[in-house]
Amino acid sequence: DATENAVQAAITAAGYGAGGGGGTSTALHAVGAGKCLEVPGATTTPGTQTQIRDCTGAANQTWSRTDSHELTVYSGSSRLCLDASNKGTSNGTKVITWTCNGQTNQQWNVNANGTITSAQSGLCLDVTGAATANGTPVELWTCNSQSNQQWSLS
């Protein structure tokens, strides 16, 4: 009915999709660096470590939040999930793209304080060494309230 449709529209507008799909697709900005999270070279090869680069609006910098707490890039048969490599739970774990599989190392909490944390480890999505250069890799690190762990979806 109309009420259910309005509620679903509000849920979708808030960035949560229905079913296994994605909500809004947007850039994921690394606040401290003023850059965007991207898949280098627009590759669709699973296992590629993510990095930051000047924002372009291209598909390899366009991320979707799903209702199952995934952050996905690309769509269709090329769809990949942001992933803590090898289910890592220690500082320095590479943040890669991988075939979506529903495991906890592909689930992320987008927090009110601007951090994005791994649901599996509680570690923060971190721009390595607080660097700001294009090509700086992204990893997991103990949350420390620094600007290299601040992200915005917009």
Q: What is the pLDDT of residues 75-132, one digit of tens each?
A: 999 999 999 999 999 999 999 999 999 999 999 999 999 999 999 999 999 999 999 9
In this structure, what are the phi and psi dihedrals at residue 92, rounded to the nearest 5 degrees? 90, 0
User: Beta partners for 53?
Assistant: 36
User: Beta partners for 125?
Assistant: 140
Token couple for 65: 């939040």
In this structure, what are the phi and psi dihedrals at residue 139, rounded to the nearest 5 degrees? -140, 180
Task: Over range 7-31, report the average pLDDT.
Answer: 59
Please give the Cα distance from 16 to 12 (Å, whole number): 5
Banded pLDDT at 2 (limits 50, 70, 90): low
> What pLDDT sits at residue 13?
45
In this structure, what are the phi and psi dihedrals at residue 27, rounded to the nearest 5 degrees? -75, 155
In this structure, what are the phi and psi dihedrals at residue 50, rounded to the nearest 5 degrees? -75, 160
